[in-house]
Each structure stands twice: as C-alpha cells, then as structure tokens.
Amino acid sequence: MTRLTQAMVSLALLVVLLPALGYVLVLLVARPRPPASFAAWYLVFVLVWFVVAVPVVALLWVLPPLPRAAVAAVVVYLVALVVPLASGMARYPLHIVRCGHLPLVGTTFAAGYTYTVPGSRAYEVTPFSDRFFCSRREAEAKGFHESSI
C-alpha cells in the first residue's frame, strides 16, 4: 500500500468514522434527539469535507500518512467553521458539547432572526442554520425571537 493510499484511508477514518461515532453518541445521550434531517445534511457535509481534504493530503506528501491525514482533516474543518452554508453543520456538534444539551437553532436567513428549541416541530439543523444558543435568554439577548411555526 502506498503512502498516499495509507493517508487516504486514515483521512476516511478521521473524517467519516469519528464524526459518525460522535453522532451515534449524541443519539444515545441527547434528549430530545437531534432531528432526523440533520443526519442527511451532516452526511453531505462529511462527504464534502472528505473530498475537499483530498488535495490537502496530496499537498502534504512529506508527512507520514496519519499526521498527513490529521492535518488535512483539521485544516478543512477549521475552514468549514467560517464558510457560509458549511459553518452551521461544522459548529452544531461543537455547540452540543458547549451547551451540554442540544442547542437552540437560530437563523438569520431572510433577516428572520428566529430560533427553534429542541423538541419543537420546527427544530431543524440545515446549512441555513447559522446561530446556536444554549438558552432562550441567550437567543433573545442577541435579538432573536422564537419561531412561530
């Protein structure tokens, strides 16, 4: 197996397997559970993350396979944190950890400044979800109001 192939296998494990295990952990621990639609959007995010990291792996040819894959995965994830339509998907798992529970999901799409709470019918995480809050008080302090849907 070539070093590039080893690096690609390592990248796949880091970018696909670790987030999948984290998602399963969230499903087991979080109450209420994340919306089912998040899984589909997150799968798309992870696949794009992998594809975008492939050229980075190729550029880091001087590093051994595992560090090469790790650097590529981290660099692409850090970029995803600030890229529109990807940042919400990258930040949602981080806010679960920060809040200790599923966060309120806010959006500024179409200047709506609305948020939804976990367990509500409208609770959904999509690429248009661009704000996350741990409490209603935090969301309202930032000028958001609860969605009427």
* Mean pLDDT value across residues 121-139: 91
Q: Two tokens at 32?
A: 């209420």
Distance between CA 130 and CA 87 in Å, rounded? 7
Distance between CA 100 and CA 6 in Å, rounded? 36
pLDDT at 35: 75
Count CB neighbours of 101 within 10 A: 15
Per-residue pLDDT tens over the stretch 18-54: 888 878 877 777 777 777 778 888 888 999 999 999 9
Distance between CA 98 and CA 145 in Å, rounded? 21
Q: Two tokens at 17?
A: 């397997």
pLDDT at 23: 80
pTM for the whole structure: 0.81
**Of the candidates 65, 135, 77, the residue with the CA atom closest to the CA atom of residue 103:** 135
Angle CA 147–140–33, to nearest 5: 55
Residue 98: what residue type? R
| Strand 145-146 with 114-116, pairing | parallel
Per-residue pLDDT tens over the stretch 60-95: 888 899 999 999 999 999 999 999 889 988 999 889
